[in-house]
Amino acid sequence: MSLKKLFEKGYDKQSQNLYLEAIEEYNKVLKIDEKFERAYVQRAYCKTQLRDYLPAIEDYKIALSINPDDAITYLNLGVANYYSGDKNNTLYFDKAIEMEPKNMAEAYFMKGLVLINNDLYSEAINELSKAIEIKSDWSAFYFSRATCYSNINEFQKAIDDYTRAGQLDFSRSEIDENIAYCKEEMKKLLAVK
């Protein structure tokens, strides 16, 4: 079987969410050609889906050593790194954004999550707003930004973003609870004044 056919077989398994089988096919590709960058990327993606983050990180790094000009691979490396437990590092998201600033909504979003994790809410709002500028139909972007606004006592902005997240597809009960909380906090602030 040709290298291309082996890779396509792996990709077909991957598209069916048969990640272990896809990894086996990508392993075969890499035994034949250890410089086949896309096989590392796709194998890393499968490992990420299986929550096998550290080996995924290694595969992404090998892919980037072969092709250092792939913004999506930097983004995916950052995601695997984040979910492996490193919730303080924006390096890979920054690199993806630097390479393709107008196409990296998810990189801005993930960078925002890192900043939220570090209680840097105003900075996170900036990153999440950039994500929304690029892709305005992802509910998680609005929900995360609403959380930031709530944490810095900008409750009306939080309500607006929670409402938008709910319109786009978010748990209605979770949205309603967060909006109720913001309204209650607004009342408390007004009572103090």
Residue whose C-alpha is closest to residue 183's, from 162, 164, 165, 167: 162
**Residues 116 and 100 sit within 8 Å (Cβ to Cβ):** no
Q: What b/e string do you get for 73-101 counting C-beta neighbours within 10 Å, with b at 16 or more?
A: bbbbbbbbbbeeeeeeebebbebbbebee
One digit per residue, the tens of pLDDT, for the chain of length 193 reads 789 999 999 999 999 999 999 999 999 999 999 999 999 999 999 999 999 999 999 999 999 999 999 999 999 999 999 999 999 999 999 999 999 999 999 999 999 999 999 999 999 999 999 999 999 999 999 999 999 999 999 999 999 999 999 999 867 788 989 999 999 999 888 887 6
Q: Which residue in this structure is represented by tokens 């892919």?
A: 63
Give the amino acid at 33: D
pLDDT of residue 172: 75
The answer to whether the Cα torsion of 128, 134, 136, 138 is positive or negative is negative
